[in-house]
């Protein structure tokens, strides 16, 4: 299963990707919203784990563009409140 992890907190991203890879998931990590949008436009994913507070394009806009392309890929919103 290929998963896109879009999270700008590199420590959290590294930790989560390591856990998922240990369970044999294929993880693509991006740290910016525009990179997430580009990855989603060019690759099929079984799941997206998406931070809402991404730089260069926020997670809501990434999700809006994903759905605008007609993609129904499941998305888990991952964000840390302050």
Tell me the percentage of the chain whose pLDDT exceeds 70: 98
CA 48 to chain CA mean position, Å: 5
Domains contained in the chain, number: 1
The 10s digit of each residue's pLDDT in 72-81 is 999 999 877 6
* pTM metric for this prediction: 0.94
pLDDT tens figures, 30-59: 999 999 999 999 999 999 999 999 999 999
The answer as to whether 69 is a domain residue is yes
Q: Return the pLDDT at 82.
A: 55
What is the average per-residue pLDDT within 13-37? 97
| Residue 41, domain member (yes or no) | yes
- The answer as to whether 82 is a domain residue is no
DSSP letters, 13-77, are: HHHHHHHHHHTT-EEEEE-SHHHHHHHHHHS--SEEEE-SS-SSS-HHHHHHHHHHTT----EEE
Can you give the length of the chain in residues?
82
| CATH at 21 | 3.40.50.2300
| Residue 61 belongs to domain spanning | 2-77
- Asked if the model's pLDDT at residue 9 lies above 80, the reply is yes
């Amino acid at each position: 299963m290929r998963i896109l992890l879009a999270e700008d907190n590199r420590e959290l991203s590294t930790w989560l990707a390591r856990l998922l890879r240990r369970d044999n998931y294929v993880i693509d990590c991006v740290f910016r919203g525009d990179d997430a949008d580009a990855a989603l436009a060019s690759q099929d994913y079984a799941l997206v784990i998406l931070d809402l507070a991404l730089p260069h394009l926020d997670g809501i806009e990434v999700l809006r563009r994903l759905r605008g392309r007609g993609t129904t890929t499941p998305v888990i919103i991952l964000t840390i409140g302050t």
